[in-house]
Amino acid sequence: MSLDAAITAKPARLQGKPLLFFLTLLAALGMLATNMYLASFPSLGKTLAATPGQVKLTLTVFLLGFAAGQLIVGPLSDRFGRRPLLLAGLIVYAIAGLSIALSINIEWMIGLRIAQAVGACTGSVLARAVARDLFSGDELTRSLGFVTTLTAAAPGFSPLIGGLIETYFGWRGTFVLLALVGIFAAIIVWLRVPETHQNRDTAPRLGQAFASYFTLLRERIFLVPALATTCTMIGLFAFFAASPSIFIERFGVPPALFGFIPCVTVFAVFAGGFSAPRLAKRWPGYRPILFGIAMMIFGSGAMLAISFANPGMFHVLGALVFFLFGMGIVSPLATVFALRPFPEKAGAASALIGCFQMAGGALGTVLLSALPYPALPALPMVMLGGAFLSLFVIFTGGRAP
């Protein structure tokens, strides 16, 4: 059998919860490769004789490659199908991870991180696109809510896992693990994931597929929910960036225990994500999203208020739970609203949402660094600003589709 015939052959389909868990794994590849090696920054720099700035650059180029790669992968999958792109991306992800583990200098690693980002973004984009291909209506809301919620939890668990690997195997072990995850995912796609994009025969030419970005950007029913979920990422990534300063430096949490804090807060995201489909069934239109935004405003506003009163660590965590609960509602529902009207452009729409979210996360970290205040109260200022931006987008964007 030729390679093309093998790729297009119809394997036994992965279904139900196993399919949703697998889509979650694909969507989380980028988060895992972003956060799992953060605890290894000092040892990585020492091993490769790199400055702290060069080590941080390995994260920066990954984020840039991840954002840009999505814009290429989405239209390609609309034109040529999901499965071939997924297989290629996962193979690139695995090879890049193994090559990074063998790096002998920081320059080599920086280049390989771009390749790893392109492979990771393939999984992220196509997980949403496959869900849009297979589900509709309430089933789409539930499935994307499940995938988005568990993906948002990945940054909560991955630093803890990465810290343990760093302790026992060093930073190279982290990238070996990431490569093994990529190999495992590629095998599952080969054996159990058939092509889900069934309208390729009528799909637009490649140039038209890329032009679909401009079509989507003119559609208010896409742009409003896409921007709403982007604004939630401002506060989330600001939290990732500020949490070491707040909990280790201010509250004296030992670095070895710091990884447990994101694990605890992640349950608030779970609660919001699993509430989202029920709220969407009970309340029409953007009302459940507005409820989630209200929770984000309450949580970040409470954190800002107590930050000027010498709060304890559990006061901060309590306010943070409300913010993350609201974010767990907003993010999956806004993603559903943005994807649902465009089944023929699911790849491009998914890519554009992912690019927006990454840009929102980058903006959150930039704003956090630019504010002339300590991490607390700078963090709740950024979180509150992102929540109000999301509210503004919804109120000025008109009715939900």
Cα 28 to Cα 22: distance, rounded to the nearest angstrom: 10
| Tokens of residue 358, six digits | 């990454």
More confident residue, 311 or 399: 311
**What 3-state DSSP class applies to 17?**
helix
- Over residues 381-400, the pLDDT tens digits come to 999 999 999 999 999 876 65
Handedness of CA 133, 139, 140, 142 (dihedral sign): negative
Which pLDDT does position 6 carry in this prediction? 46
Q: Could you give the residue ranges of the DSSP H alpha helices within 135-259?
A: 137-169, 171-192, 206-217, 220-243, 255-258
pLDDT at residue 80 above 50? yes
pLDDT at residue 3 above 50? no
Answer for the pair 93, 120: CB distance below 8 angstroms, yes or no: yes
Nearest to 185 by CA among 19, 1, 8: 19
pTM: 0.76
Contacts for 11 with CB less than 8 Å, ≥ 6 apart: 190, 191, 192, 193, 194
Cα 61 to Cα 111: distance, rounded to the nearest angstrom: 8
Task: Spell out a b/e string for 259-275, using b for 16 or more CB atoms within 10 Å of the CB, else e.
Answer: bebbeebbebbbbbbbb
Which pLDDT does position 55 carry in this prediction? 82
Q: In the chain, what are the domains?
A: 9-194 (1.20.1250.20), 215-396 (1.20.1250.20)
- Mean per-residue pLDDT, 355-380: 85
According to DSSP, residue 205 is labeled: P
According to DSSP, residue 36 is labeled: T
- Mean pLDDT over each residue of the chain, to the nearest integer: 85
Task: State the angle between helix axes of 346-370 and 206-217 in degrees (0 to 180), rounded to the nearest 10.
Answer: 50
- Over residues 87-144, the pLDDT tens digits come to 999 999 999 999 999 999 999 999 999 999 999 999 988 888 888 888 877 787 778 7
- Over residues 193-210, the pLDDT tens digits come to 888 877 655 555 667 767
Answer for the pair 112, 121: CB distance below 8 angstroms, yes or no: no
Cα–chain center distance at 304 = 26
* CA-atom Rg of the chain in angstroms: 20
